[in-house]
Structure formats: structure tokens, C-alpha cells
Amino acid sequence: MNTLADFTFVSGLLFAVGIYGLIVKRNALRMLFAVEIMINAANLNFIAFDRFLWSNSTLPQAALGQTFVLFSIALAAAEAAVVLAIIVVAYRLHKNVDVSELKTLGG
Amino acid sequence: MADIVFLAMMAVTVGGAIFALESREIVYGAVGLAGSLFGVAAFFFLLDAPYVAVFQITVYVGAVAVLIIFTVMLVRHETWMKEVTYSLGRLVGILTAAAIAISLTFAWAASSQLASVPLPSTVTFLQIGQLISTSLSPALEVLALVLSASVLAAITLAKVEREED
């Protein structure tokens, strides 16, 4: 049987990979990948702690953790849609999706 | 202690995430990201959250991955396909990621809950539905508004302005 430590280890590893991508990559699409990976690491952590510390409760609120992750997934999908639209607009204006080349927003 | 299935799922999830960031072609990276998100869904199954797992597969592997692949198709261009990576930046990235992973591991190692084995889960679909439709219904309304606003924003941003005749 897997313990809570196994799941937190996977989640921490995923989060570290996401941080690496966010620091190293300058392509807007790759940065979006990194953000999605980090959001998923957080969701996995949330479900793991919910399963081990809360979901055997007899209260009607025992499903609260899973419900929150459902909301989080929906919000992440909305965020991805907006970011992808911004990337399409940036490409149309600059013919590039490298964030170090997009200086219009820099002021 | 982790078993073989768990290790295989972990390899798919973390390997897919690394491949998504380091693949030569960004389209393959999108496929790697979909594989990684699928691995996270498998972990949700393992954690007795089948509803969340199916939701994850529907939304991420079904919708977001396809959306990303379409965007890659739209913005595909030869000049930026050759990505420049600076070796100093990569070193900083690896060091920061390692520091975060190690510090998280130490923080969790100090906890007493980590060796716990789960008790049988009492959560059912019925409870999720009841929560969403009763005490969390304001949150659901706000979420629906946010989703509509973001879809409207995406359409407005991506719309091509036509020249007036």
C-alpha cells in the first residue's frame, strides 16, 4: 500500500520540473506547459492529503477536497484558454512567441 | 513502500513532464504534456477519486491538449522553432528546481502523517453532487461566470479585426 509520502514525493518532483521549465524556457508555449505541470502537481498534492487525512470522515463534507480540485481543474482550463489566445495575438503582432522578444508590454 | 505500478505511473508522469519541456519539436512536447496529465489522472484513480480522474481526462487530455496542439499549428513558424537555451540559465533552473525539491522533501520528512496508510474512503458521487448543488452553489455560479468571461476574452482577443469598407 502506498503511503502519503509517495504521493507527496511525486507531486514535489512535478512541481520542481515545472519551476525548472518556467525559469529556463523563453518560449511562451513551453512556459504554459510548465504552469500546467505545476497546477497539476498542486492538485495531486491536494487530492493526496484529502484522501489520507479527510476522506474517511463521516461528515457530509467529506467530499470537499475532491470538489475543490474539480473547481481548480475548471479554472486551470479557463486560464489555458486565455493564455493560448494571448499567444495567438502575440504571434500575429510579432511573428514570434519568444517572451524576451515581446517588448511591447514592457513599458 | 511503492510498488511496480506506482513506479511506472511515476515514470510516465514525471518523464512526460520533462519531455514536454525538453522535446525538440513543440508538437511532441504537447503530446508529452498530455501523457503527463494522463499520469496524474491515474494517480487520482489510485487515490480513490475516480470522478476527479475522469474530469481530469475530459478537461485536460480531451480539451486543453487539443487546444494546445491547435495553437501550435496556428503559430508554427520556422524562425522560433530553433529555441535558444542559455547554459547559465539552464544551470540556474536546475539548481532552483533541485533546491525546491530538496526543501519540500525535508519539510515533509518532518511531518508525522507521511507514513500513514489510508482508511477506507467514504466519499461517494452523491456527496460531491450534494456539496456542489447546496453549500458550494455560490462558488459554482462564480466559476460559471469566470468560465464565460474567459471564453469571451479569448474570442475577443483572437478575433481578426476586419477593415471597414
Confidence of residue A38 (pLDDT cuts 50, 70, 90): very high
In a domain, B115, yes or no: no
Q: In chain A, what residues touch B136 (CB-CB under 8 Å)?
A: 67
Give residue B139's pLDDT.
92
Give residue B56's pLDDT.
93
Domain boundary among B45, B79, B113: B79
Interface of B with A in 139-158 (CB under 8 A): 139-140, 143, 146-147, 150-151, 153-155, 157-158
Q: Which of A1, A10, A50, A86 to mutate to test the interface with B (most CBs of B within 10 A)?
A: A10
Q: Structural domains in chain A?
A: 4-95 (1.10.287.3510)
Burial of B125 (0-12, 13-18, 19+ CB in 10 A): exposed
Instruction: Give me the tens of pLDDT residue by residue for chain B, a chain 165 residues long.
Output: 558 889 999 999 999 999 999 888 888 999 999 999 999 999 999 988 899 999 999 998 888 888 998 888 888 766 555 666 667 888 888 899 999 888 888 887 777 766 677 777 777 888 888 888 998 999 999 999 999 999 899 888 888 776 655
Instruction: Say if the Cβ atoms of B71 and A88 lie within 8 Å.
Output: yes
In a domain, B98, yes or no: no
In a domain, B130, yes or no: yes
DSSP characters for B71-129? HHHHT--HHHHS----HHHHHHHHHHHHHHHHHHHHHHHT-SSTT--PPPP---HHHHH
**Owner of C-alpha cell 468560465:** B147
In a domain, B138, yes or no: yes
In this structure, the answer to whether residues B72 and B128 fall within a common structural domain is no
Give residue B83's pLDDT.
64
Most confident of A20-34, A59-73, B71-85, B118-132: A20-34
Give residue B54's pLDDT.
94
Kindly state whether B113 is in contact with chain A, defined as any CB-CB distance less than 8 angstroms. yes
In this structure, the answer to whether residues B12 and B69 fall within a common structural domain is yes
Which range of residues forms the domain containing residue B17?
Answer: 1-79
In this structure, the answer to whether residues B68 and B136 fall within a common structural domain is no
In this structure, the answer to whether residues B67 and B1 fall within a common structural domain is yes
**Owner of C-alpha cell 525548472:** A20
Asked if this assembly's ipTM is beyond 0.95, the reply is no
Instruction: Say if the Cβ atoms of B146 and A71 lie within 8 Å.
Output: no
Give residue B147's pLDDT.
92
In a domain, B104, yes or no: no
Give residue B16's pLDDT.
95
Give residue A105's pLDDT.
63
What is the distance between the alpha carbons of residues B157 and B97, in angstroms, rounded to a whole number? Answer: 34
In this structure, the answer to whether residues B2 and B54 fall within a common structural domain is yes
Q: Which three cell numbers stand for residue B38?
A: 494522463
In this structure, the answer to whether residues B3 and B59 fall within a common structural domain is yes
- Cβ count within 10 A of residue B120: 7
Confidence of residue A106 (pLDDT cuts 50, 70, 90): low
In a domain, B112, yes or no: no
Give residue B163's pLDDT.
63
Q: In chain B, what residues touch A95 (CB-CB under 8 Å)?
A: 77, 79
How many domains does chain B divide into? 2
**Are B54 and B44 in contact, with CB atoms under 8 Å apart?**
no
Instruction: Say if the Cβ atoms of A75 and B71 lie within 8 Å.
Output: no
Q: In chain B, what residues touch A56 (CB-CB under 8 Å)?
A: 118-122
CA distance B98 to chain A (A): 7
Q: Radius of gyration of chain B from Cα atoms?
A: 21
DSSP characters for A37-51? HHHHHHHHHHHHHHH
Give residue B78's pLDDT.
63
Tell me how far CA of residue A42 lies from CA of A84, B2, B63, B86, in angstroms: 21, 21, 20, 28
Mapping DSSP to helix (H, G, I), strand (E, B) and coil, where does residue A91 land? Answer: helix
Confidence of residue A60 (pLDDT cuts 50, 70, 90): confident
Q: How many CA atoms lie within 13 A of B140 on its CB side?
A: 12
In this structure, the answer to whether residues B15 and B72 fall within a common structural domain is yes
Domain boundary among B79, B106, B137: B79
What is the distance between the alpha carbons of residues B94 and A24, in angstroms, rounded to a whole number? Answer: 9
For A66, which of B17, B49, B105 is closest by C-beta distance? B49
Domain boundary among B79, B102, B132: B79
Say what the pTM is: 0.89
Nearest to B27 by CA among B78, B74, B73: B73
Q: B53: domain CATH number?
A: 1.20.120.1200
Give residue B79's pLDDT.
58
Give B94 or A54, the one with higher predicted confidence.
Answer: B94
Report chain A's mean pLDDT, rounded to a whole number: 86
In a domain, B42, yes or no: yes
